[in-house]
Structure 1
Amino acid sequence: MMAESTSFEPSPLGGNGDAEYHQPRPRKPTRIDLLKPQLSEETIVNRLKETSSGLSSGRTTPIPENAPPSVKASSSARRQIRAQQRQRIFPTIEYVDRVSHFDPSSDYRDFRGFFVLFWIGLAIMVITTMLRNLKENGYPLFIRQWELFTEKVWELAICDGAMVASTAVSLGLHKAINQKYFRWSGVGMAIQSLYQALWLLFWVTYPFIRDWSWTAQVFFTLHLLAIFMKMHSYAFYNGHLSETLRRLNDLDNPNNASKEEAYRYPHARTHLHEIPQSPSHEKTEDSEKVKLAQLRDDLAYELASPLGRVSYPENLTVYNYVDYVFCPTLCYELEYPRTASVRYMEVLYKTLAVFGCIFLLTVSTEEFILPVLDESAIRLNQTNSILDFILILSETIGQLLFPFMLAFLLVFLVIFEYILGAFAEITRFADRQFYADWWNSCDWLEFSREWNKPVHHFFRRHVYSASRGHMSRPLATTITFFISALAHELVMGCITRKFRGYGFIAMMLQMPIVMVQRSKWVRGRTLLNNVLFWCSMILGLAMVGWKMFLGNCVRLLLTFVCRCVRYMCLCEATLDVLPRTYFGKEDDTSPCDYSIRCEGRNLPMVDDTPLL
């Protein structure tokens, strides 16, 4: 009777209709490895003991002690399966030792739902903005920056194409080197370096001469820097291969050829004392032959592509160069891994995403950045207290924290996820990891490695590794940051039309911050370092908005100082120390009538300089 009672299964057609309460319909879990606990061997053994010690269900016969091992194994397997599949009458919850998804020790990494929530939030922001504008102005959107996007757009397109096409000089140079008109080491490197310097100088100054809008100039400058790095990598890597081929050909006559070991460039983790030094001159005849054969193998291996289908100089073709220009990478290789085919729907999706992100970026700028800057400029011009001046600046930075963080995320997505992804799909470029989980960074060095992998690979290969053979790691790292800081200052100069050094200083300040974060008091505290990273990131992005109109703030501050000086009735000669250009026009107001003009707020205004 007990055995019959334990096998109660209610019929779904019962008259009371309560079958679903006794045996609810199971749901298929999406992550079985997380939701279904794994039974340990000890648990299974204990359950088997409990089963063997209790009453038999009639489905098995106890195994005698002297049964063969095969029979015992089969019986044990059946009992394990029954122990795992046995269900109770009332549904039970199995509780095991496990952590939550957000626990630092959790291995769960699938948070795509938050990515979807991010886009839903942006959609809600756009809809509410359009409804508010429709109610207040009668138009859903009012974009003041439209002229910035359309001004001289055809000139921008033509110059951008000419800029890219002008890098093909490197291909002609290496064809001449391959024809043995001259060598790379010496003449070829000098020609390429001189051409790169003149090329960079011309294309950087051209937008300033033509007075382009800051949006067109920033786009052109970013593309210019990317193409410059592409050209440098193509020229210097092929130059390295040309010298390697020359050495390999010279080994056909080993009596006159150099037999020095092939120079291996240091990697990121190579210490200075680990760099191979000059080999010993004590050589026997047998060791000479072995080293000569090894040298031939090393040089021949260097001339072949990573996939083994292309060798230098077979890569010196127009098709190979054009393909490299369109590939989303800054480091040249003879061959890249490719996907099987182009997914045209994916190209269409990423293209639409690019324009969608630009639209969202424009709306967020119009609604949450430009009004704050305009209002702050007016309030700063009207303030009469140094405390109010500081409070207005602090309030402005606080209001720009979230908008600039949103702008940064949109720019990151449009470049590294959609533009590079679209070009990767068009060229069938298989390596799509253009960034890593930079949001988990604990210091700025880790962030620089993770958030922009193409640029990181270029600097590690052509700047850091090239410098490590001649200097220590800290000095090579400083030089790498120095060159990167110059590039950041160039971009900031294109936005503000003034080179004040803000981008350079902000970039170089990362070095002492990294030293503090890697000290013994802070190092290893992952959560604290990540919090500090995000705080500095958000605050730094908001400071960018303040730096964009810092020149106006300086003039406003000087205006405020002049008011204070006049209010204290200092002599007119003291006022002559300050340049009149800060006030927009000559001002012959005497100290005596300043209080009268102050009451009417009829004060000299600063120049009407646009903030963006």
Structure 2
Amino acid sequence: MACDTRPEPQTQTTDLTSLDIEKSVLSHALQGLSTRPPLSTQETWTPHASPASLDVDGATALKPQEKEHVEDSPSRSTTAIPSEDSGSETQLNIPTEDRRKSIQVVLEQSGKKGEYVFTSKDPVFQDALQSGIRQEAEKLLGNEKIKNKPRDLIFTQQFTTFDRQNSSAAHSPFRGFFTLFWIAMGFILTRVAAGNYRTKGSIFGDAEILHLMVDRDLFVMFATDIAMCAASSFGFFLHKAIAKDYLTWNRSGWLIQSLWQIFFTLTIIWVTFWRHWPWTHTVFIVLHVFVLLMKQHAYSFYNGYLSQVYRRRNILKSKLDQLDATSAQETTEQASPTAETLTATGIDNPNEGDLTRRVSSGPKYSTNLSKEKSEIASIGQAIEAGKPLDEEQIDAFRRVLNTEITILDEELRGKCTTTDSVYPNNLTLANFIDWTCLPTLVYDQEYPRQERVNWWYVAEKSGATLGVIWVMIIISQAYIYPVVVETVRQRDAGMSLEMRWKEFPWVVSDMLFPMLLEQLLSWYVIWECLLNVLAEVTRFGDRGFYGAWWNSVSFDQYARDWNRPVHNFLLRHVYHSSISFFHLSKMQATFFTFFLSALVHEILMFCLFKKIRGYLFVFQLLQLPLAAFSKTKFMKGRDTLGNILFWFGMFIGPSVITSLYLIV
């Protein structure tokens, strides 16, 4: 099936001529649009969701998990994970009420007899067809479910829920509530400004938080941030050395990169303590250092896997050259050691079908044929031994080697549409800088792109970013800062812990509403405004930065939907890697993923409050039993109750956690 099914804003064309599987593919696509069950909240990196054999982070550096996109609307994030015991890779979420009665498609003659070009503008149908192509191609190769086959994240063209370019959101029946929210924000700002003018003689009041942000080390903070971005190029230069065979990824490369990431993170955190920065500077730098840490890890470990595939391909090419230089001997009745090797590998008397349908006969990342136990390793050892081969044996070896090299070439090419992005051509400084600026934490060689940059849109979202940050400063100054200052004053004045505990309920109640507002605005300014600015400037097409997390009925659904870039990173580089490299069970891998996430959040609290308490760490881990509770029979079918419990936790959680760090 020679086609590129990457969704584009324009009409998508699929050539259905290379393989004779048109009927199967179309049947699969139509079935996906009519009969597939909707996704449940369990399709995430929870114990019931994903294959256990995929990894890019171990010493073997397997390639990341592929996830098919599920698209209810252009605004939905579309990552879905196939279950291990399901027969299909992709389950498209098509609610019963949204099923289509008809789909417009076009079949055009290609100019060659019996060949047609299939065209469809329907994005859901394109996804279903894409899945069908992959499944039927794997069946044609004789192995529908290859155990260690690395899979990629599929990126699609989409917009965020609240973006005006999203036609579905623009016509949402709840659009008025969005307008009401910002009108309410306007009245709050007016009320705060009037109160400041009445008591302070200025609408800005004392503006202590603004002074914290600009009065000290502002330029030092920006210089540190620039140095961080420059230092993150360490992985790029490491992979240039690996591509030139100065190092190998599976021996020393992954260890060097891991040690560098630890050093990089600890150094930047130390700088925040050394400079005695205010909390505004600290939060910005520490959050950005974790973003750069994830980007470095994704870039290095993905390219590390590709470097192993590239080395294996080169080794097999050298074996093929060695084979081509071998002279054939006459066939003898007595079996030679080489003939015994052929019999053992199952290619003594190969037929045409066996050779053309052969799948990869060894792990794609292995580069040590002497220790590998596979068909291709046996062939390599036979060639290396220099034993005499007859014409039939040489021909069989050549076909198997050519098939394996072709498979590895396809692995290196991935979804690339040009050779410029194929490893090692992707190891350029321009590619690395582009990757650093992209609003995603999952590295790929190519992404869907917009045709051009809409600079008016960039200006709009940039203005929204600055405006929302200003609103957050005003709310913090008016409603949070006075409570924090008073609580700290009581503690510094020597008030006993018992007396401070008596103040705890009042501190929590004073911060309930402002902390909820700050949480919502923080999410909006990053995932709706800032990431869309980066996406537009870089022409990045897949803007599924979040799902409808406000409708979550459990905390694991919230963890999956509110921050899709980090969720995808954890899914690929933590959950699957811990299963493959550390051989953890799904339950253990889930716990490890939540544990690591909770640890990172607690490190941020340590940098912010300069003390270790573990409150946020514990609350993060409490999401696990809450997620398990949401899957009990008692909660089954009670989505409204689940959403109430979710919002109750979101409402009181931030103020309770903040108050604990302030009081104790």
TM range (shorter): 0.5 to 0.7
Change (3 A) 1:253 1:375: closer
1:495 corresponding residue in structure 2: 608
Pick the aligned partner of 2:660 from 547, 552, 570.
547
Name whichever of 224-233 and 254-263 sits farther off.
Answer: 254-263
SS of the residue 1:251 aligns to: helix
Pick the aligned partner of 1:220 from 285, 292, 295.
285
Deviation of 1:131 (Å)? 1.4
Say if 1:262 and 1:298, in contact at 8 Å, map to a contact too. no
Pair 1:398-2:499 in alignment: no
2:409 corresponding residue in structure 1: 300
Q: Which has the higher helix share?
A: 1
Say if 1:262 and 1:295, in contact at 8 Å, map to a contact too. no
1:145 corresponding residue in structure 2: 209
Quote the Cα distance in structure 2 between the aligned partners of 1:535 and 1:157.
38
Change (3 A) 1:263 1:399: farther
1:363 corresponding residue in structure 2: 474
User: What's the TM-score, normalizing by structure 1?
Assistant: 0.66
**Percent of paired sites with the same residue:** 35
1:172 corresponding residue in structure 2: 237
Quote the Cα distance in structure 1 between the aligned partners of 2:449 and 2:458.
16
Pair 1:123-2:123 in alignment: no
Deviation of 1:507 (Å)? 1.2
Alignment of structure 1 residues 13-92 onto 2, 5 Å? none
Deviation of 1:545 (Å)? 2.5
Pair 1:111-2:212 in alignment: no
Quote the Cα distance in structure 2 between the aligned partners of 1:479 and 1:289.
45
1:467 corresponding residue in structure 2: 578
Change (3 A) 1:536 1:308: same
2:623 corresponding residue in structure 1: 510
SS of the residue 1:495 aligns to: helix
Name whichever of 377-386 and 447-456 sits farther off.
Answer: 377-386
Pair 1:318-2:429 in alignment: yes
Say if 2:196 and 2:202, in contact at 8 Å, map to a contact too. yes
Change (3 A) 1:153 1:293: same
Pair 1:351-2:462 in alignment: yes
Task: Return the index of the structure with the highest Cα Rg.
Answer: 1
Structure 2 unmatched runs, 5+: 1-170, 324-344, 346-359, 366-371, 380-392
Say if 1:164 and 1:227, in contact at 8 Å, map to a contact too. yes
AA aligned to 1:494 is C
Pair 1:433-2:544 in alignment: yes
CA deviation vs aligned residue, 1:231-288 (integer Å, no higher than 9, x gap): 1111111110000111112222458999753369xxxxxxxxxxxx987999998998
AA aligned to 2:629 is V
Deviation of 1:315 (Å)? 0.6
1:12 corresponding residue in structure 2: none
Say if 1:305 and 1:335, in contact at 8 Å, map to a contact too. no
AA aligned to 1:464 is Y
Deviation of 1:373 (Å)? 3.5
Deviation of 1:113 (Å)? 1.6
Name whichever of 306-315 and 436-445 sits farther off.
Answer: 306-315
Change (3 A) 1:287 1:397: farther
User: What's the TM-score, normalizing by structure 2?
Assistant: 0.61
Name whichever of 344-353 and 391-400 sits farther off.
Answer: 391-400
AA aligned to 1:331 is V
CA deviation vs aligned residue, 1:281-331 (integer Å, no higher than 9, x gap): 999989988765554343222211424222111111110000111111111
Quote the Cα distance in structure 1 between the aligned partners of 2:364 and 2:559.
28
Change (3 A) 1:494 1:384: closer
Quote the Cα distance in structure 1 between the aligned partners of 2:218 and 2:490.
35
Pick the aligned partner of 1:480 from 567, 570, 593.
593
Deviation of 1:432 (Å)? 1.1
1:135 corresponding residue in structure 2: 198
Say if 1:338 and 1:429, in contact at 8 Å, map to a contact too. yes
Change (3 A) 1:137 1:238: same
1:589 corresponding residue in structure 2: none
Pick the aligned partner of 1:195 from 260, 271, 287.
260
Pair 1:235-2:300 in alignment: yes
1:410 corresponding residue in structure 2: 521
Deviation of 1:211 (Å)? 0.9
SS of the residue 2:317 aligns to: coil
Change (3 A) 1:279 1:383: same
CA deviation vs aligned residue, 1:83-136 (integer Å, no higher than 9, x gap): xxxxxxxxxxxxxxxxxxxxxxxxx95422211111111011101111122122
Pick the aligned partner of 2:362 from 240, 249, 261.
261
Quote the Cα distance in structure 1 between the aligned partners of 2:188 and 2:602.
32
Pick the aligned partner of 1:522 from 635, 642, 647.
635
Structure 1 unmatched runs, 5+: 1-107, 265-276, 552-612
